Structure 1
Amino acid sequence: MSEETCDIHDVTRAASDLVAFGCSIGAMHLYDGFARMQFSHVVSTYVNEIIQAVDEGILSAIQGIQEIREEYTDLSSKVLFYAQNSAGVLAGAIQF
């Protein structure tokens, strides 16, 4: 995707993907309803700020998409880290 072809619609599509990913993470890993709701709120607030910054011209559309992709990647790596560690702890408990 190039700078010229990128617009606010691409940013909102990327934001929607991040919110959906955040909701699925919350549903799988957060068992407390309040914590799940709070996590979803934080993700939604973050993407709304990015969309607003792009809409106001503070960020270009490509910068907004890059910010959202970086957050998606960071969130993915954290989920993978915790999943691997909890699997290791579970295997150790079973072995014990």
Structure 2
Amino acid sequence: MNSRGPKSILEADDTTRHSDERMRERSRHHHSLSERNKPDPVRERRAQREVAEYIESICVDLRMMARAARLESLAYFLEMSRIEASIQIELRPGPKSEPS
């Protein structure tokens, strides 16, 4: 009911139509936001590979330092970390090299 009395069927249909349009617009807006926030799988895989490569190289240096200091348990765990990093690198192949 409005100040002029009960809504006519036409007014009710018009209100429903505007409400439906607003809901569709919100849905489109939400969908576009979620699409923008989706990680790019190629970029994500590349970043993961780069981090794993960095960790692998650091573990080599740290393991050598641990061995030199006779910290055998630490050297062992650093070697295990290096191996795990190399496995992660293998699971995330780099970009395809172009044919020469």
Greater relative contact order (Cα < 8 A, sep 6+): 1
More helix by share: 1
TM-score, length of structure 2 as denominator length:
0.34
Largest Rg, 1 or 2: 2
